[in-house]
Structure 1
Amino acid sequence: MSGADGRAGAEDGRVSADEGGARTAPGRLADIPGFDIDGVARAAESDSRILRLENLDTDLRPPAAAVAATRAALESPAANSYLPFTGRAGLRAAAARHVGRLSGRDYDPDRECVITAGGTEGLLNALLATVDPGDEVIVTDPTYAGMLQRVRLAGARPRLAPWVFDPAAGWRLDLDALAARVRDRTRALFIMNPSMPSGGVLDAGDWAVVAELCRRHDLWLLYNAAMERILYDGRPYLHPAGLPGMRERTLTVGSVSKEHRMIGWRTGWIVGPAAVMADVAKVGIYNVVTGVGIGQPGALAALTAADEAEDVAACVRRWERRRDAVLDALRDYPVRPAAGGWSLLVDTRPLGLTARELSARLLTQAAVAATPMDAWGGPDAQYQLRLVFSNEPVPRLQRLEERFARIA
């Protein structure tokens, strides 16, 4: 990456010609900025005094059964194979049951579930199986850059529907704007719940509007379920595929990365109707070929553990306490509370700074690593700084008040 705004190459996003000959990046990359979270991380990694709030990691341990199953898999020839391309049968069955239990719908693991190399492969595969170049896909604003930019990689055009922050009610999706974004070329709504990076959560009324839009306009719902049960303040859980008419148009993309704290396993799944899953499987085979062999036994152990739901709930309670510690420490700053997920946002406009400027000052003056959200939405994204609270214990997060006070 180069340049102050994190873009690679020239200002238009294309690689400029050099003396070795003219070369430009493909057009699909023209509007995609560089991903510079790792740049903030590199600046912080050598100093243990720095509060690590820049990346979606967590220090909470993966399930013990998953670790044990993975160790055993290292000696298994079956785990060191490309086959089966769509994932091991036991894991497909477990993932289909998992989504079925949460949605209240049954899924056939052989025809309606594909294992992926993490949820992020699943996001791109789902897009490639449902949209054509030039189609439009509605995403929320702000949203995970990995979703927004994958829409562009697929050759489609993102249409942004804003989250709006109400000091009394928190983050709410602008439902009127969402409906207005639907046009003739719209093919899908691409939604993560809880939303990342804001931590906004759709309630039952929001999901009802989403479902009605999908039914009325014959749209796919591409549902990023990576953090779906990480909900705070007693919020109820709802899976959109359980709503009337939504099983046949919802692709659920999940993984063990967040709820089960298994980021490095790179194992996820796509569960959806048989009518589209053959295409999803085809994309997967010609994209990554197969899921991570040695990761799948651990994922199976995590999903089938007798205490799976209790384990996830216990971790959610710990992450909620960490969120609360950040909110308390920064109560005098323009912090926007998260209703779920691993991160929340600071609105930098009242501080007279862009998010990139505040990120730089926090790192150099206050030993806090945090990431600006420039590439994570529309024009307002340059004023949103993300704080990830999942990777630091409460006592360290309580130091944020003193650290922010150092900013000149």
Structure 2
Amino acid sequence: MRYSALTDRLQGLGGAKWEIHAAARQMKREGRDLIELTIGEPDVPCPPDLILAATAAMEAGRTGYSNGHGEPATLAAIAQRYTARRGRAFGPENIMTLPGTQTTLYAVLCTLLGPGDEVIVGDPMYATYDGLIAATGATAVPVALRPEQGFRLQAADVAAKITPRTRVLFLNTPHNPTGAVLRADEIAALGALALAHDLWIVSDEVYEDMVFDGVPFASPLDLPELAERTVVTSSISKSHAAPGFRSGWCVGPAEFCARMLPLSETMLFGSQPFIADMTTLAVTQGSPVARGMAARFAARAGMIHDRLHGVAGLAVHRPEAGMFALLDIRASGLSGSAFARALLTEAGVACMPGESFGVGGDGGLAGWLRLSLTQPDPAIDAACTRIAAFAAKTIGEPK
């Protein structure tokens, strides 16, 4: 039977990247002793008042159809949030709401891209980005994010990859999987390239509220000269410990939102009104849990660094934000995938291989692991003990 070209483009870009995580979950179901450091689920429950808001909205009958743009109160709340944070006016016409950042990014990129276009994106990148780009028919053009530069995207490296087909500069700050946060001057330099070459900037900022203490956050939305070419996406999934509610949005020019609206209507014709009401409250009151999570994750990253950096040739890259730390295992001579599989089966620790976070599966984290910081301190400590013992046994053996 015949299938669409879209399904061909997405082969190998979906669940295959999460093989270690799926295997770990199966081992847990079988009762195996396992420490799971794979995915980035918040380490606290969703705040009770948000649950009550969603429940009350359902009980009040807020279970009917919505629309492809968003509920008026939610649009107004998000617009006010960005007006306050970015120092210039945003209105409901600048906002679109969709179920989660992933859906939002899909709609945004489908609005901006088509076959033959190119997207410049930092490599490593979040595991779904290459699939999101491929779905549009466009081509991802990776730009190396280097450890010696803090894994922050550099304008000079981007400039070398721009061609007449380049349409979008795809940013992620704070970055997953590296935890890097772009500085204001770096964003200004990238913005200058976008202006010079008439590029869109798409910036995934879902971890904005989880920047560690002492690290400044900046966004291309801060710069008025980039207003007509910047689209930012975010959600309440991380900041409000509500990933299962799938509530996200994008902020961009009014014309962009108007062009995206028919796509949103075609895909979904609206998010759930009761989740919109919950989101309105979340955005209006801010997060009661984000700063605590950020503090704990920073401390756990420090624990991993203290326990593993320099042990048996391992090196730890400490993040500036988010839910993950990176472990450099290149001294083992193994790929990240091979090391992660062996670590899972022999030591009972599940980590994501760095190869899951690059175009073509061999991106800038080949020979690295991504470690989630969302487990309790005793579990992180126990995982470090197991990783250190496994590395001592493995590194230096003939390959």
User: Shared fold (TM-score greater than 0.5)?
Assistant: yes
Q: Which moved more, 1:69-78 or 1:199-208?
A: 69-78
* Correspondence 1:253 to 2:245: no
Match of 2:98 among 113, 116, 123: 116
For 2:45, which of 38, 42, 61 is the aligned residue?
A: 61
- Corresponding residue for 1:201? 181
Provide the identity percentage.
29
Moved more, 378-387 or 150-159: 378-387
Q: Secondary structure at the match of 1:173?
A: coil
**Match among 374, 381, 385 for residue 402 of structure 1:** 385
* 1:192 maps onto 2:176 in alignment: no
**Number of the residue aligned with 2:78:** 95
- 1:229, distance to aligned residue in structure 2 (A): 2.8
Q: What is the aligned counterpart of 2:324 among 314, 319, 343?
A: 343
Decide whether aligned partners of structure 1 residues 173 and 24 sit closer, same or farther in structure 2, where only a CA change above 3 A counts. closer
Number of the residue aligned with 2:291:
313
Q: Does 1:161 align with 2:143?
A: yes
Deviation of 1:102 (Å): 2.0
User: Which stretches in structure 2 are left out of the alignment for 5+ residues?
Assistant: 394-399
**What is aligned with 2:301?**
323
1:45 to 1:31, Cα distance in 2 relative to 1, 3 A: closer
SS at match of 1:214: helix
Q: Distance in 1 between matches of 2:4 and 2:289?
A: 49
Q: 2:347 aligns with which of 366, 371, 378?
A: 366
1:137 counterpart SS class? strand
1:151 equivalenced with 2:141 (yes/no): no
Contact 2:308–2:388 (CA under 8 A) maintained in structure 1: no
Normalized per residue, the structure richer in helix is 2
Contact 1:105 1:247 in 2 (8 A): no
Matched to 1:148, the amino acid is D
Asked if the contact 2:24/2:34 (under 8 Å) is kept, the reply is no
**1:45 to partner: Cα distance:** 3.4
1:382 aligned counterpart, secondary structure: coil
After alignment, is 118-127 or 357-366 more displaced?
357-366
CA distance in structure 2 between the aligned counterparts of 1:24 and 1:248, rounded to whole angstroms: 34
The two structures have a TM-score, normalised by structure 1, of 0.87
Do the aligned partners of residues 253 and 48 (structure 1) sit closer, same or farther apart at CA in structure 2, a change above 3 Å counting?
farther
C-alpha change, 1:339 and 1:157, in structure 2 (3 Å) is: same
Does the 8 A contact of 1:338 with 1:344 survive in 2?
Answer: yes
Aligned twin of 1:104: 87
1:131 aligns with 2:113: yes
Structure-to-structure mapping, 1:9-88, within 5 angstroms: 26-30=7-11, 32=13, 34-37=16-19, 38-46=21-29, 47=31, 49-78=33-62, 80-88=63-71
The aligned amino acid for 1:32 is L
1:198 counterpart SS class: coil
Distance 1:336 1:105 in 2: 36
CA contact (8 A) 1:170 1:337 kept: no
Gaps of 5+ in 1: 1-20
Shift of residue 236, structure 1, vs aligned partner: 1.1
C-alpha RMSD of matched pairs (Å): 2.1
Q: Note if 1:212 corresponds to 2:192.
A: yes
Tell me the distance in 1 between the aligned counterparts of 2:100 and 2:3. Answer: 32
